[in-house]
């Protein structure tokens, strides 16, 4: 009798892998942390995406073996939120990766296995802002490997807006002070891009201090910098970003494309203003939708 029970148990154990569905979830979401931005993106995502999913928040664990997780879960698509999540997923080969909220996505080649939505809105949204402020000469520091492609797009359109881009390439964060010195007296505004080489805690303070000492408006990519002295920021609309991501995910799942994930601009941004700084610099007020 014991031998019969053992054989029966073994029979059912052997059946379990075969009975497992081909994909436990269509979408595996790797989330770097519990930030408000991630929460708002998730809210927008769920307004448009109704498929099966599993979310893993990396900050909840000491270590996550993402490659093993993907092999076990067998999702059709991986969605990453944040730079840490993208770092963990960027070497995956067996599944397409859609990245959001990641500075390191800026320099990715378009049309590969890994794509997503960047943190930079279409150039005309910034150019309209510079034109409204009346700042013709705009200084910007950038790493060609990360934001060089985006700045080429901006430069191509800038003349139509009466804007002259004074761009200084940076390949090492330690070059920032020297590059800022080259902008002194040549620009009417300073533009802070979400470039991982430029945006470090030390360099962000140096950029803000330079703008303050030179009486220049600093235009940033996040309202996080307004309290630190930036004049204007173009915040991403994280809820709409989640909806846009959902539309991309649904499109990829329907097409069955496994190696062609586009790199897209976020379609909507929200201008935020530090009115105190604008008044001090005697610049026109910008629209603030808060």
Domain at 151, CATH number = 3.40.50.2300
Query: Does residue 273 belong to any structural domain of this protein?
Result: no
106 and 10 part of one domain: yes
Reduced to 3 states (helix: H, G, I; strand: E, B; else coil), residue 14 is helix
Query: Does residue 143 belong to any structural domain of this protein?
Result: yes
Sign for the CA dihedral angle at 82, 84, 90, 92 comes to negative
Query: Does residue 285 belong to any structural domain of this protein?
Result: no
63 and 196 part of one domain: no
252 and 158 part of one domain: no
242 and 110 part of one domain: yes
Q: 57: which 2 tokens?
A: 């928040």
Query: Does residue 14 belong to any structural domain of this protein?
Result: yes
In the prediction, which pLDDT does 232 show? 95
168 and 259 part of one domain: no
In the prediction, which pLDDT does 14 show? 35
175 and 106 part of one domain: no
Those residues whose C-beta lies under 8 Å from the C-beta of residue 96, and which sit 6 or more positions away, are 77, 78, 113, 114, 115, 252, 257, 258, 259, 261
Burial grade of 62 (CB within 10 A; 0-12, 13-18, 19 or more): exposed
Which structural domain, as residue segments, surrounds residue 257?
Answer: 2-119+238-268
114 and 242 part of one domain: yes
Instruction: Give dist(CA 221, CA 155) in Å, integer.
Output: 18
Beta-sheet strand order (sheet of 97-100): 53-57, 27-31, 77-81, 97-100, 114-117, 263-264
How do beta strands 218-220 and 232-236 pair? Answer: parallel
Query: Does residue 42 belong to any structural domain of this protein?
Result: yes
Instruction: Give dist(CA 2, CA 37) in Å, integer.
Output: 57
Asked if residue 246 lies in contact with residue 77, where contact means CB atoms within 8 angstroms, the answer is: no
Query: Does residue 231 belong to any structural domain of this protein?
Result: no
Domain stops at, among 220, 254, 285: 220
114 and 186 part of one domain: no
CA quadruple 276, 136, 124, 140: dihedral, nearest 10:
-80
115 and 9 part of one domain: yes
pTM: 0.83
Query: Does residue 80 belong to any structural domain of this protein?
Result: yes
| Bridge partners for 271 per DSSP | 234
161 and 244 part of one domain: no
Q: What is the pLDDT along the chain (290 residues), one digit of tens a residue?
A: 555 444 443 333 333 333 334 447 899 999 999 999 999 999 999 999 999 999 999 999 999 999 999 999 999 999 999 999 999 999 998 899 999 999 888 776 666 889 999 999 999 999 999 999 999 999 999 999 999 999 999 999 999 999 999 999 999 999 999 999 999 999 999 999 999 999 988 899 999 999 999 999 999 999 999 999 999 999 999 999 999 999 999 999 998 755 689 999 999 999 999 999 999 998 887 554 43
Instruction: Give dist(CA 136, CA 187) in Å, integer.
Output: 8
Query: Does residue 246 belong to any structural domain of this protein?
Result: yes
14 and 84 part of one domain: yes
185 and 55 part of one domain: no
Domain stops at, among 220, 247, 276: 220
Structural domain tally of the chain? Answer: 2
């Amino acid at each position: 009798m014991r031998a019969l029970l053992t054989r029966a148990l073994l029979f059912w154990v052997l059946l379990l892998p075969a009975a497992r569905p081909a994909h436990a979830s269509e979408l595996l979401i790797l989330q770097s942390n519990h930030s408000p931005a991630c929460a708002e993106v998730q809210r927008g995502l769920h307004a448009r995406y109704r498929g099966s999913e599993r979310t893993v928040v990396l900050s909840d664990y000491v270590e996550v073996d993402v490659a093993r997780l993907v092999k076990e879960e067998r999702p059709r698509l991986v969605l990453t939120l944040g730079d840490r999540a993208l770092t963990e997923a960027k070497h995956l080969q067996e599944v397409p990766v859609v990245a959001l909220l990641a500075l390191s996505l800026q320099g990715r080649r378009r049309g590969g296995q890994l794509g997503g939505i960047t943190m930079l809105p279409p150039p005309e949204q910034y150019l309209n802002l510079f034109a409204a402020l009346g700042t013709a000469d705009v200084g910007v520091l950038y790493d060609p490997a990360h934001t060089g492609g985006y700045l080429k797009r901006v430069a191509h359109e800038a003349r139509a807006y009466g804007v002259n881009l004074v761009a200084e390439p940076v390949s090492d964060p330690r070059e920032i002070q020297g590059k800022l010195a080259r902008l002194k007296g040549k620009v009417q505004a300073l533009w802070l891009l979400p470039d991982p080489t430029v945006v470090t805690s030390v360099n962000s303070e140096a950029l803000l201090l330079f703008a303050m000492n030179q009486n220049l408006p600093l235009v940033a990519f996040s309202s996080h910098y307004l309290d630190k002295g930036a004049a204007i920021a173009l915040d991403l609309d994280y809820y709409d970003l989640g909806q846009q991501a959902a539309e991309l995910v649904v499109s990829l799942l329907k097409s069955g494309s496994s190696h062609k994930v586009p790199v897209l601009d976020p379609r909507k941004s929200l201008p935020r203003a530090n009115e105190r700084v604008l008044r001090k610099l005697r610049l026109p007020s910008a629209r603030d939708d808060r």
